[in-house]
């Protein structure tokens, strides 16, 4: 029955949560059931009648609940639904094990369990067919083994609300020693295959984005702070830094430009629509003012397949950079 196939039915997930909640607590209220059905968009009469065994055709009812009183139900079975994975999920789990980052986020026991998963049909995937090409040309990729202790320490600091003291080397080569900060958020850039952390500086009372592999001598620092206050300040900082208007680009559907654009701007809030009269896609990219240089860099990476239509200062900045690049190449008699 498709109603019990997780991949095809949201009702399966709703029913699973209802059964497991009722099993864990012994009973479940009618309000809790309705809340779960509503959350999964299953709150319509046909489903409700089947679940509460009120359908006129008894064979269509689902007899998993029995009524205790007007507002409370219990299970007819003394069991919960154990989690399981579909063939497609097994294929995906086995594939991500080929990533060098798997050990950063999963412990050894979990990795071993995934490797032992079996399925009736899991086609093999040649991971060599997927060749990453967006790695940073400025920084060499740090090995996952070296990156792991830094990432885990930052994660633990966020969870346990602890200060960190660290030394950081900027992209320009400047070294900042013994900086004390509060890690706020970890980010991953698909464009250059880098992990970043947002730090709040205790000394300067501002936020900075650091490349995790450029952090050295990371250690815990004694001190207390209110993380909720820092997060509120971070949200205020982001609101004030948001650009007043989005960058609007038109993308030609050539040389996989559209796919590349979505990939490059995957970490940004955006919207897109197809311009039938131009046979192009229009993409609006919402960003923060401190991200402007990074946005321009990514637009230039897309080359001639993209045209910036708004705002004007971004257009002028890109035109200026292209002119300077052409002048430099011409002066050096490369073109």
80-89: pLDDT as tens digits: 888 777 777 7
Highest-pLDDT range among 78-82, 116-120, 133-137:
78-82
Cβ contacts of 111 within 8 Å, gap of 6 or more: 97, 102, 103
275-289 pLDDT, tens digit per residue, is 888 889 999 999 988
Is 73 in contact with 45 (CB distance < 8 Å)? no
The C-alpha atoms of residue 270 and residue 49 are separated, in whole angstroms, by: 41
Looking at residue 253, its pLDDT comes to: 80
Q: What is the pLDDT averaged over residues 125-143?
A: 62
CA torsion through residues 138, 141, 147, 148, sign: positive
Query: Which tokens belong to 273?
Result: 């629509």
Percent of the chain with pLDDT over 90: 23
Q: 154-239 is classed in which CATH architecture?
A: Roll (2.30)
Identify which of 306, 193, 314 has the alpha carbon closest to the alpha carbon of residue 243.
314
Looking at residue 255, its pLDDT comes to: 81
Question: At 118, is the secondary structure helix, strand, or coil?
Answer: coil
Q: What is the mean pLDDT of the chain?
A: 84
154, burial (CB in 10 Å: exposed 0-12, middle 13-18, buried 19+): buried
Cβ contacts of 29 within 8 Å, gap of 6 or more: 71, 72, 73
212, burial (CB in 10 Å: exposed 0-12, middle 13-18, buried 19+): buried
Looking at residue 335, its pLDDT comes to: 46
Question: At 280, is the secondary structure helix, strand, or coil?
Answer: strand
Upstream peptide bond of 58 is cis (omega within 30 degrees of 0):
no
In the chain, where the domains are located: 2-75, 87-129, 154-239, 247-331
Percent of the chain with pLDDT over 70: 89
Q: What is the pLDDT averaged over residues 14-33?
A: 92
- Residue 5 Cα to chain centre, angstroms: 26
- Quick one: pLDDT band at residue 126, thresholds 50, 70, 90? low
pLDDT above 60 (res 233): yes
CATH topology of domain 247-331: Alpha-Beta Plaits (3.30.70)
CA torsion through residues 25, 26, 32, 38, sign: positive
186-211 pLDDT, tens digit per residue, is 988 766 778 899 998 888 888 888 99
Q: What is the pLDDT averaged over residues 313-325?
A: 89
Looking at residue 281, its pLDDT comes to: 93
- Quick one: pLDDT band at residue 167, thresholds 50, 70, 90? very high
245-269 pLDDT, tens digit per residue, is 999 999 988 888 888 898 888 878 9
pLDDT above 80 (res 131): no
The C-alpha atoms of residue 64 and residue 59 are separated, in whole angstroms, by: 13
Question: At 235, is the secondary structure helix, strand, or coil?
Answer: helix
Looking at residue 1, its pLDDT comes to: 42
Query: β-strand 194-201 against 175-189: which pairing, if any?
Result: antiparallel
């Amino acid at each position: 029955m498709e109603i019990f196939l997780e991949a095809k039915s949201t009702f399966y997930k709703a029913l699973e949560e209802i059964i497991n909640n009722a099993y864990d607590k012994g009973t479940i209220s009618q309000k809790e059931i309705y809340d779960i059905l509503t959350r999964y968009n299953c709150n319509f009469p046909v489903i409700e009648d089947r679940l509460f065994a009120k359908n006129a055709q008894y064979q269509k009812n689902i007899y998993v609940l029995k009524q205790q009183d007007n507002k409370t139900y219990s299970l007819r079975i003394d069991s919960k639904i154990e989690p399981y994975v579909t063939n497609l999920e097994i294929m995906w789990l086995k594939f991500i094990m080929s990533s060098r980052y798997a050990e950063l986020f999963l412990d050894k026991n979990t990795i071993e369990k995934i490797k032992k998963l079996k399925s009736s049909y899991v086609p093999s995937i040649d991971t060599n067919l997927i060749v990453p090409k967006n790695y940073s040309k400025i920084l060499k990729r740090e090995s996952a083994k070296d990156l792991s202790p830094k990432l885990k320490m930052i994660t633990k600091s966020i969870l346990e609300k602890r200060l960190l003291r660290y030394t950081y080397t900027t992209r320009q080569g400047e070294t900042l020693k013994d900086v004390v900060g509060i890690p706020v958020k970890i980010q991953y850039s698909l464009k250059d295959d880098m992990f970043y952390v947002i730090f709040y500086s205790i000394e300067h009372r501002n936020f900075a984005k650091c490349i995790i592999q450029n952090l050295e001598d990371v250690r815990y620092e004694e001190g207390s702070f209110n993380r909720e206050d820092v997060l509120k300040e971070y949200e205020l900082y982001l609101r004030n830094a948001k650009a007043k208007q989005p960058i609007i680009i038109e993308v030609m559907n050539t040389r996989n430009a559209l796919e590349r654009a979505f990939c490059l701007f995957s970490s940004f809030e955006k919207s897109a629509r197809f311009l039938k009269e131009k046979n192009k896609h229009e993409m609006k990219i919402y960003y923060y003012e401190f991200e402007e240089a990074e946005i321009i860099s990514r637009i230039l990476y897309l080359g001639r397949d993209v045209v910036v239509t708004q705002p004007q200062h971004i257009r002028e900045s890109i035109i200026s950079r292209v002119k300077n690049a052409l002048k430099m190449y011409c002066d050096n008699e490369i073109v």
